[in-house]
């Protein structure tokens, strides 16, 4: 375990976090990967990296929430995707030799050698690991901060039973909150959002993720809980990029959602329908602002 100048009781931290995530998932016949709505191709990899920069911009460049002391020496990122969050976090941590490690159930979006290389600094290893399964021993009691972002798209509704010690920073965007500042709401926006909500409810997923993460962390005995909602509202410089982000999320999420809800028979057919709807959404945005909200929940738990 790393040396910290503030009290961080991280006995079996990662181990317990595992139980936490595991308890969110219905461990029945449908496996986590079966219910992942997004693809992992080159287009999605590019979208994840662009999305990262957008989310960081909405949060005023607070990659690590300001309520967490900055003398962190070790971080695990669960469901790391391309590892882009870890790469950026390494640039802002005062400890340049901090121990960083990414985990994901799939290496499809990793660099070919499964590590992020940084000139003059140690590389960041990326492991293939299903966070619902026990971690190898070398990762137990090792991390000062566990970070999770956008994992609930694949987590089923369950109450939490067990909680980690130490810091957790869990970030979720409410994908179903696609909206603009137009009143009344444009029918196309309602239709796109409803497809995703219905698909998530059909699959037993969390359509209202930031609220749910906050409720679960509050109920779990954490202290120093912070729930911050970052928004594009009032950030005129993010107007164009917010619209592009929503456009990208709609293209990525709505076609598989329409297949789940039965609105389309195949993903190819759904993509064609969504093309038209997204074009309509973009036209609507000629006179309306796309709005995006992004929830960050931080908690600390002592033994």
Ligand X SMILES: C[S@@+](CC[C@H](N)C(=O)[O-])C[C@H]1O[C@@H](n2cnc3c(N)ncnc32)[C@H](O)[C@@H]1O
Binding site residues, ligand X, CB under 6 A: 32, 36, 38, 48, 52, 79-81, 84-85, 103-106, 130-132, 149-151, 153-154
C-alpha to C-alpha distance for 59 and 295, rounded to whole angstroms = 9
C-alpha to C-alpha distance for 10 and 1, rounded to whole angstroms = 8
Q: Considering beta carbons, is residue 147 or 214 the nearer one to ligand X?
A: 147
Q: Considering beta carbons, is residue 175 or 284 the nearer one to ligand X?
A: 175
Find the shortest distance in angstroms from Cβ 186 to ligand X: 26
Q: Considering beta carbons, is residue 63 or 93 the nearer one to ligand X?
A: 63
Find the shortest distance in angstroms from Cβ 166 to ligand X: 19
Asked if 24 and 35 touch (Cβ cutoff 8 Å), the reply is: no
Q: Considering beta carbons, is residue 161 or 265 the nearer one to ligand X?
A: 161
Find the shortest distance in angstroms from Cβ 161 to ligand X: 17
3-state SS, residue 146? strand
Q: Considering beta carbons, is residue 56 or 225 the nearer one to ligand X?
A: 56
| Token pair in block for residue 104 | 């994901």
Find the shortest distance in angstroms from Cβ 149 to ligand X: 4
C-alpha to C-alpha distance for 136 and 132, rounded to whole angstroms = 12
Find the shortest distance in angstroms from Cβ 220 to ligand X: 20
Task: DSSP letter for 127, please.
Answer: E
Cis peptide before 184 (omega within 30 of 0): yes
Asked if 230 and 296 touch (Cβ cutoff 8 Å), the reply is: yes
Give DSSP secondary structure letters for 174-187.
Answer: -GGG-EES-SSPPH
Q: Considering beta carbons, is residue 82 or 195 the nearer one to ligand X?
A: 82
Cβ-closest position to ligand X: 81
| Token pair in block for residue 177 | 């909150």
Find the shortest distance in angstroms from Cβ 72 to ligand X: 18
Q: Considering beta carbons, is residue 53 or 159 the nearer one to ligand X?
A: 53
Find the shortest distance in angstroms from Cβ 22 to ligand X: 9
Name the CA dihedral angle for 139, 141, 147, 151, rounded to a multiple of 10 degrees.
60
Using the CB atoms, write b or e for 1-12: b if 16+ within 10 Å. ebeeeeebebeb
User: Which of left, alpha, beta for 100 (phi over 0: left; psi -120 to 50: alpha)?
Assistant: beta
């Amino acid at each position: 375990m790393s040396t910290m100048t503030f009290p961080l009781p991280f006995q079996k931290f990662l181990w317990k976090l595992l139980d936490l995530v595991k308890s969110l998932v219905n461990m029945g016949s449908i496996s986590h990967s079966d219910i992942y709505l997004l693809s992992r191709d080159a287009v999605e990899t590019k979208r994840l990296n662009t999305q990262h920069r957008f989310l960081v911009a909405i949060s005023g460049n607070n990659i690590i929430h300001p309520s967490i002391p900055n003398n962190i020496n070790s971080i695990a990122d669960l469901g790391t995707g391309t590892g882009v969050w870890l790469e950026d976090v390494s640039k802002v941590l005062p400890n340049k030799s901090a121990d960083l490690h990414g985990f994901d159930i799939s290496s499809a979006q990793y660099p070919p050698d499964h590590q992020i290389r940084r000139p003059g600094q140690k590389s960041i290893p990326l492991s293939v690991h299903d966070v619902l399964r026990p971690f190898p021993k070398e990762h137990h009691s090792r991390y000062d901060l566990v970070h999770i972002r956008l994992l609930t798209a694949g987590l089923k509704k369950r109450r939490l039973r067990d909680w980690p010690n130490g810091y957790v920073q869990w970030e979720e965007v409410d994908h179903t909150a696609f909206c603009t500042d137009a009143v009344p709401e444009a029918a196309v926006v309602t239709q796109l959002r409803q497809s995703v909500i219905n698909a998530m409810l059909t699959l037993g997923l969390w359509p209202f993720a930031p609220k749910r993460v906050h409720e679960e962390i509050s109920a779990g005995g954490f202290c120093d809980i912070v729930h911050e909602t970052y928004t594009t509202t009032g950030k005129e410089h993010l107007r164009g990029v917010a619209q592009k982000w929503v456009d990208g999320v709609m293209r990525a999420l709505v076609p598989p959602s329409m297949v789940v809800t039965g609105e389309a028979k195949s993903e190819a057919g759904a993509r064609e329908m969504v093309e038209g709807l997204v074009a309509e959404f973009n036209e609507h945005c000629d006179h309306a602002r796309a709005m995006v909200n992004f929830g960050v929940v931080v908690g600390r738990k002592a033994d």
